[in-house]
Amino acid sequence: MRLSGHTALQIREKLLSREIQASDLVGQLFKWIKDIEPNVQAFITTCEKEALEKAVEIDKKIINRQKVGLLAGIPIAVKDNICTKNLTTTCASKILQNFIPPYDAFVVKRLKEEDAIIIGKTNLDEFAMGSSTENSGYKITRNPWNHECVPGGSSGGSAAAVAADFSFLALGSDTGGSVRQPAALCGVVGIKPTYGRVSRYGLIAFGSSLDQIGTFTKDVKDAALLLQVIAGYDSYDSTSAQVSVPDYLQRIESGVKGLRIGIPKEYFAGGLNTEVGVAVKDALKLYEKLGATVVDISLPHTEYAVAVYYIVANAEASSNLARYDGVKYGYRTGESRGIIDMYCRTRSEGFGNEVKRRIMLGNYALSSGYYDAYYMKASKVRNLIKSDFDAAFEKVDCIMCPTSPVPAFKIGERANNPLEMYLSDIYTIPANLAGIPGISIPCGFSKTGLPIGMQILAKHFEEKKILQIAYAFERETDFHLKKPALKGSTG
């Protein structure tokens, strides 16, 4: 049975009022997954047995009127680059094919504390490097709205899992748009919180100064709920912020009267698909109708964002991925002559092409004599991009723009053109460079029926404001309620 009619908050009500049982819910969910998953391929690992056990445990708690967590009995999917104790975590890479973490990521610990039910680990571009989930070392995930299209990436598995009703909630990670872009392409809500809002402990690092764990949900209120659980200071992450976490659901209906919305002219220039542009402009008109003012702004250093990003992210990645050497865990080559040969073979065989490309680019940018010209300069330009946002937020309360320049593209269409693929993230990358929060919400459909997403950005730690703004739109529209037609083997 498909559980499409419900959000996590609604399911929560039903579970707590004992209208349904978590074990039934999980059972039905896995039936649906088994039916549909062959056409979607959202998961690398599912854990039905553990999920059912946990569900039975939570049912008991509810029946016994024990205190239960915020996410009691609610199924959730976790991107496979977030460590789950005793559950294989591969990063969609052959090099970690047998890796079973001995510890839980901070966010996973929080999910467990709040009694969520982890149903599986979702597919991604290997080490989160990509915008289509085609770079996975294991499988290609398909967009639930059109199986010939990509779900976006790198958190394509999580986005598809929520869009296909495999899960009510999912976690992803966003280094340059890896939550927001697939959320847009799959027609779901995706938040990338402020850098430091959610602990990165247990998130397998790609670009450490950019990575942030984010949420996938069916609507804005669920996003508030899930963010509530995972946000907050963690002493195991030095970059996590000691800033108190507000109640995100409280006054989410505040509306947008008097809100000043900034429209960066640089984001509506060439390369933007017409249908996407129109959908976002329509959304802006609705905001005006709801009492907001639209203001033209400029983010003058936008054109450098992608270049800066690919230097910073790849430099950090080249270092973060150095540990996968076959010595301690994960894949090790069969035969080798000496340690250097073992390193070379292990890494050549274990990493996919895109990962190798980025390691090489990153190492090059950091190598002696090039550091100043690349990494240093990129860091300086990064500061200019940050200043662009600081200046903009002097004038406006938030910034709105498309999440992705195009709706979901065809599988294989961009696979052989890395530069074109890199441009998929042109609207999302600046937020990571600046460390500010952003959300993508559904705001329309293309003529071919593919979802279109709109991005809302605000100042550091203004997730609550973003959620209020997003909810004001969602309340007036029904884009988030539309569902892809999915047919499985048993109908």
Partner 1 sequence: MLSVSSVAIKLLKVVNMEYEVVIGLETHAELATITKLFCGCSTKFGAEPNTHVCPICLGMPGVLPVMNKKAFEYALKAAVALDCEINRFTNFDRKSYYYPDLPKNYQISQNYYNLGIDGHMNMSVNGSIKKIRIHNVHLEEEAGKLIHPEESGADYSLVDFNRAGVPLLEIVSYPDMRTVDEVESYMQTLRKILLYTEVSDCKMQEGSLRFEASISLRKKGSDKLGNRVEIKNLNSMKSVIKAIEYEAIRQSELLDRGETIDRETRLWDEVGEKSQRMRSKEESQDYRYFPEPDLLPVLIDEKWLSAVKNSIPELPLARKQRFIEACKLSDYDAGILTEEKVLADFFEECVKILERPKSFSNWIINDLLREVKDRKLDISNLPIKPRQLAALVEIIEKGTISSTIAKEVFSDMIQTGNDPQKIIEEKGMAQISDEGLIESVIDKIIAANPNVIEDYKKGKKNALAFLVGQVMKETKGKANPKMVNEKLAKKVGV
Of the candidate residues 10, 88, 209, 273, the single one contacting partner 1 (CB under 8 A): 209
Secondary structure of the chain: what % helix, strand, coil (to 5)? 40, 15, 45
Contact call for residue 319 and partner 1 (CB under 8 A): yes
Residues 331-350 that bind partner 1 (CB under 8 A): 339-340, 343
Chain centre distance of CA 65: 35
Contact call for residue 86 and partner 1 (CB under 8 A): no
Contact call for residue 103 and partner 1 (CB under 8 A): yes
Between CA 61 and CA 124 the distance in angstroms is 34
Select 1 or 339, whichever has its Cβ closest to partner 1.
339
Contact call for residue 323 and partner 1 (CB under 8 A): yes
Stretch binding partner 1 (CB under 8 A), from 174-182, 204-212, 287-295, 398-406: 204-212
CA torsion 313→314→317→319, rounded to 10°? -120
Q: Which of 79, 109, 121, 459 is catalytic?
A: 79
Contact 179, 190 (CB under 8 A): yes
Contact call for residue 82 and partner 1 (CB under 8 A): yes
Query: What 3-state DSSP class applies to 170?
Result: strand
Select 372 or 394, whichever has its Cβ closest to partner 1.
372
Between CA 189 and CA 216 the distance in angstroms is 6
Q: Which of 23, 93, 167, 178 is catalytic?
A: 178
Select 32 or 127, whichever has its Cβ closest to partner 1.
127
Taking residue 395's Cβ as centre, other Cβ atoms within 10 Å add up to: 11
Contact call for residue 45 and partner 1 (CB under 8 A): no
Contact call for residue 216 and partner 1 (CB under 8 A): no
Active site residue 154: yes
Select 266 or 316, whichever has its Cβ closest to partner 1.
316
**DSSP code string of 29-45:** HHHHHHHHHHHH--EEE
Find all residues with CB under 8 Å of 116, minimum gap 6, and list them: 69, 71, 72, 74, 75, 76, 169, 229
Contact call for residue 237 and partner 1 (CB under 8 A): yes
Contact call for residue 109 and partner 1 (CB under 8 A): no
Active site residue 464: no
Decide the pairing of beta strands 212-217 and 189-192. antiparallel
Of the candidate residues 121, 180, 197, 200, the single one contacting partner 1 (CB under 8 A): 200
Contact call for residue 238 and partner 1 (CB under 8 A): yes
Burial class (CB in 10 A: 0-12, 13-18, 19+), 45: middle
Select 142 or 358, whichever has its Cβ closest to partner 1.
358
Contact call for residue 242 and partner 1 (CB under 8 A): no
Contact call for residue 202 and partner 1 (CB under 8 A): yes
Between CA 430 and CA 220 the distance in angstroms is 23
Task: Write down the residue that tokens 């065809």 correspond to.
Answer: 410
In the complex, least distance from residue 386 CB atom to partner 1, rounded to whole angstroms: 15
Active site residue 348: no
Contact call for residue 73 and partner 1 (CB under 8 A): no
Stretch binding partner 1 (CB under 8 A), from 230-238, 248-256, 280-288, 449-457: 230-238
Contact 150, 130 (CB under 8 A): no
Query: What 3-state DSSP class applies to 285?
Result: helix
Task: Write down the residue that tokens 């690398």 correspond to.
Answer: 44
- Which residues bind to partner 1, rule: CB under 8 A? 82-83, 89, 91, 96, 99, 101-103, 105, 200-205, 208-209, 235-239, 315-316, 318-319, 322-325, 327-329, 339-340, 343, 363, 366-368, 371, 375
Q: Which residues are catalytic?
A: 79, 154, 178
